[in-house]
Amino acid sequence: MSRIGNNPITIPEGVTVEVNENVVTVKGKLGELSQEFSGIEVKVEEGSVQLSRPSDSKEHKAKHGLYRALIANMTEGVSKGWTKELELVGVGYRASNQGQKLDLALGFSHNIVLDIAPEVKIETISEKGKNPIVKLTSHDKQLVGQVAAKIRGFRKPEPYKGKGVKFVGEQLRRKAGKSA
**11-28: average pLDDT:** 92
End-to-end CA distance of the chain: 56
Q: Evaluate if residue 12 carries a pLDDT over 60.
A: yes
Q: Which domains does the chain have, with CATH numbers?
A: 3-79 (3.90.930.12), 82-167 (3.90.930.12)
pLDDT digits (tens, 9 = 90+) for 81-121: 999 999 999 999 999 999 999 999 999 999 999 999 999 99
Q: Each residue of 28-55: pLDDT tens digit?
A: 999 999 999 998 999 999 889 999 999 9
